[in-house]
Amino acid sequence: MEISVMNFKGGQGKTSIALNLAYSFDYGIVANETYTVLKNHLDDNHLLITTDAIPSGLDDVIYDFGGGITKHMTDALKRSHVVIIPFVVEQANVEVTIEAINSVLPLNKNIILVPNKIKATDKDYQILLDTLKEFGFDHLPICPIRSSMALQNIFTEHKTIEQMQAEGGLNGFNYRKVSEDFNNLIKLINTINTMKGDK
Ligand SMILES: Nc1ncnc2c1ncn2[C@@H]1O[C@H](COP(=O)(O)OP(=O)(O)OP(=O)(O)O)[C@@H](O)[C@H]1O
Ligand SMILES: [Mg+2]
């Protein structure tokens, strides 16, 4: 399966989500940034950094795509079985995210919106749902991920959040909800992948 994780805006959780998915599916990552922290965490067999052409024929891969859509990204976005768009729920991010959705839709309709760093008291979440409805995007699947240190610890532990959770102890207790969030995302990815819908 080819999975894109993209947003125009930085700091939305693309790389963290991409790495957790890469460990979960045992896939490699293609990143389109000249510098990515991933190079400190993945070996050459699991990471390709390129701002040029992206090889076709990569069957099992996560694309970590930041910035605008370049001509090199277009085919990978079209081929992707699913395009995940993570964003932190604040007005400025939602505006950029609406632009990102509008740019991806002509290439690929299998979008999953991932509101990220959600806090229990997030009042902006309802405003987000209203905004998505206003723009006609309330039909897109939404899979929120809560705010958790687990996202940072993927990089230090080199394990999925689910693995860290399963080890028990304090992390086991603390990470059970965020681990469920990722399991929901993975289920949704697998469901969309098995549906033979139009891209
Ligand atoms: N659910 C979350 N809870 C808490 N912190 C998070 C969460 N998701 C991401 N972060 C933190 O937010 C920061 C940005 O995340 P990340 O680097 O994955 O974003 P990005 O979209 O790839 O950014 P960039 O555009 O710089 O590549 C990191 O410090 C990361 O640990
Ligand atoms: Mg990144």
pLDDT of 9? 93
Strand-pair partners of 49: 31
- Model confidence at 100: pLDDT above 80: yes
Q: Which atom of ligand 1 is nearest to the CA of 64?
A: 22
Which residues are within 8 A (CB) of 84 and not within 5 positions of it... i.e. 6 or more apart? 3, 4, 5, 6, 17, 21, 111, 112, 114, 185, 189
Q: How far is the CA of 12 from the centre of ligand 1 (A)?
A: 5
Q: Which atom of ligand 1 is nearest to the CA of 118?
A: 1
Average pLDDT over residues 168-183: 94
The bound ligand whose nearest atom lies closest to the alpha carbon of 161 is: 1
Domains of the chain: 2-194 (3.40.50.300)
- Model confidence at 199: pLDDT above 70: no
| Residue ID of nearest Cα to ligand 1 atom 23 | 11
Q: Which pLDDT tens digit goes with each residue over 46-90?
A: 999 999 999 998 999 999 999 999 999 999 999 999 999 999 998
| Residue ID of nearest Cα to ligand 1 atom 25 | 10
